[in-house]
Structure 1
Amino acid sequence: MGSDVVSPRRPNPPKRSLIGDLPMRVIYRGLAVVAALGAVVVWALPSGPGEDAARPVAAPSAVPSSSGPAPVTPSPEVSPAFVAPTPTPTPTPSPTAAPSIAPGYTAMEALYADPRVPKLPARLRAKAVRGYRPAIKDRFSGLAVPRLPKPWRTYGSGPYATRQIIKGTRALFVTAPVPIKVQREHRDTALLAARWTLSRHPKGARLTWIDSRPIRDGWMLVYQVRYGKRSALAAVVVAKGGASKPGLAFISVPDTRKRQWGQVARVAAGVRALG
């Protein structure tokens, strides 16, 4: 009785790697190419914020891929270190005197361009008056000025060096260092001071000259200020009295107190420079 002998199945031979079929020199060359490409990619990528703006980036391939549209080169990012800070606008202070003129104008050019202030005649003299005797010495402005009788009374100086008022009215008589740029000529400084006083009158005020004359170490101006249907009589005296800046004496009396208008010219004539 014969028996069938089953021969054992021989295992399939192992599949050989494709790499194994390649010569070693080809493998080494391929590894070298891969390493070089990896170095280029790593070098192109930023390693931290703010470093990509100054680092070269590998140029994209000029041949488009067959599986999609050509790659788009991304716009280089701007490093935060190179972004200019947004400037903070400087607040512009509100003017307290005459409207501003274009930059580059001198103070006198601004004065002559102001329609509220007419040109001062070369010769303008009112009737001379006898001034009050000075009784208050204001060393802050360098001036000696009259102390006015009732209904005037002294009041807290506020922004001025001295102040006298008639209570319940716009009448005032004050002294202070000149609040405007000092000019070479006393007359020009007085003109600028008169223009400045318009800010102490109601809006729309314009002036008309009445008297203009030199005094010792200074200049005196008397003028009428009109605003709407009302008016005031005013005067400024600018004089150099030993302080760091010339002093200013300013008096203004509204038409509601016309009986005090006769005092305006006398007060201006009574102002003296100290020293």
Structure 2
Amino acid sequence: MLDGLGGTQGTQETDVAPTDEVAGTGAPEMTGTARGARPALRVVKPLKRSRIGDLRMKVVYRVLAVAVVLIAAAVAVVAGLLPSGSAEQPDEGRPGQIAAPSTAAPSSGPTSSAAVPAAASNPTAVSSPTAVSSPTAEAAPAPDDSAVKAALADPRVPELPADKRLGRLPGKASSSKSRISDEKSGVSLIRFGKPWKPYGASPFATRQVLPPVRGAGHRAMLVSCPVPTLVQATLKDTALIAARWTLNHHPKGGRISWVASQPIKDGWLLAYKVVYKMKGKARSSMAAVAVTEVAGSKPALVFVTIPDSQRTRWRDINTVATSIRPV
């Protein structure tokens, strides 16, 4: 209906209180006390709400509280696991200490039998490097007789004769000036005067030679060195292997013919002829090897050979055999 004042439509009076829906919209609220009275309009301010999305603050607070509780529980679980893990780490390093090398120096003597039960009852001794590196374990095994069999199977080397002493060889003994001390081999021997003379030792330790003779096939020489072959169980067998080796210093095709086999001071002597051909003519050399025990790891070898073209010097082989001494 018209209010009669400005031709505007009036507002209908109501006694109903505004609901939350109306109040929440911010629309004007109509109030009145009597019918026919002009209603008074009052603007009601909307309620302030803090929203995260469409959620109320109360809901947000509850979510945050739950999250804080969960985080605190997780931290407590992790904190409970860390001490147990760190306590096990030192124990894991202890087995390595058992295998640590012993600081005690290894004994230079033979291992006693009392050390065997101790090593069996003590795991540390078993795992220690010093327990397995005794001097007796490093000793080389005794050689077998394979080298001797190989030497005797060589058609150039006959079976060793029964022990027989070297007789006086033909010729005249050379004069002697002094002695030669071979520190490398551990022996000393005679040093002949003229016509012998020292010569370049390589590949030996010492060497003396006679003047070369045309047609002889090789040069007379007296040398010393550590045994250049495999050491055998006995000095006699070692001398056999060394005699075969000396064929490398004789003319090609040389064959051994034994002359003597006898013990000498701290060693063994083999004397022999080496028979060969030079330009179709039979030739020979008188030779001898002496193997002597010395302080070194290998015996000493003294080797002398003189061709038949210088047979007047063969007596020097007797002198050499009796002159060998340990240094």
- Deviation track 1:191-210 (CA, whole Å, cap 9, x = no partner) reads 11001001100110001111
- Deviation track 1:142-161 (CA, whole Å, cap 9, x = no partner) reads 11110012100001111110
Among candidates 240, 248, 251, match of residue 301 of structure 2: 248
Task: Check if 1:225 corresponds to 2:246.
Answer: no
2-structure distance, mates of 1:272, 1:105: 28
Partner of 1:127: 167
Partner of 1:196: 245
Task: Check if 1:109 corresponds to 2:160.
Answer: no
Task: Check if 1:165 corresponds to 2:209.
Answer: yes
1-structure distance, mates of 2:308, 2:168: 22
Hey, which of these two has a bigger chunk of helix by percent?
2
Partner of 1:20: none
The amino acid that maps onto 1:234 is: A
Task: Check if 1:184 corresponds to 2:184.
Answer: no
Shift of 1:217: 1.7
Does the aligned pair in 2 maintain the 1:139–1:243 contact within 8 Å?
no
2-structure distance, mates of 1:216, 1:152: 25
Secondary structure of 2:233's aligned partner: coil
| Superposed CA RMSD | 2.2
Does the aligned pair in 2 maintain the 1:138–1:144 contact within 8 Å?
yes
Cα 1:126–1:156 shift into 2, 3 Å: closer
1-structure distance, mates of 2:183, 2:207: 14
Secondary structure of 1:147's aligned partner: strand
Cα 1:125–1:134 shift into 2, 3 Å: farther
Q: Give structure 1 stretches of 5+ with no counterpart.
A: 1-103
Which stretch shows the higher mean deviation, 174-183 or 163-172? 163-172
Does the aligned pair in 1 maintain the 2:177–2:192 contact within 8 Å?
no
Shift of 1:265: 2.1
Cα 1:135–1:186 shift into 2, 3 Å: same
2-structure distance, mates of 1:235, 1:250: 6
Partner of 1:210: 259
Does the aligned pair in 2 maintain the 1:134–1:272 contact within 8 Å?
no
Cα 1:134–1:141 shift into 2, 3 Å: farther
Q: Aligned residues: percent identity?
A: 46
2-structure distance, mates of 1:243, 1:133: 27
Which structure: larger Rg?
Answer: 2
Secondary structure of 2:251's aligned partner: coil
The amino acid that maps onto 1:173 is: L
Cα 1:151–1:128 shift into 2, 3 Å: closer
Among candidates 180, 186, 197, match of residue 153 of structure 1: 197
Partner of 1:118: 158
The amino acid that maps onto 1:153 is: K
Partner of 1:138: 182
Tell me: higher relative CO, structure 1 or 2? Use CA pairs within 8 A at least 6 residues apart.
1
2-structure distance, mates of 1:163, 1:245: 19
Shift of 1:126: 3.1
The amino acid that maps onto 2:286 is: L
Does the aligned pair in 1 maintain the 2:207–2:223 contact within 8 Å?
yes
Partner of 1:53: none
TM (norm. structure 2) is 0.49
Partner of 1:37: none
Q: Give structure 2 stretches of 5+ with no counterpart.
A: 1-143, 214-218
Cα 1:149–1:134 shift into 2, 3 Å: closer
Q: How many residues align?
A: 171
The amino acid that maps onto 1:244 is: S
TM (norm. structure 1) is 0.58
2-structure distance, mates of 1:189, 1:133: 31
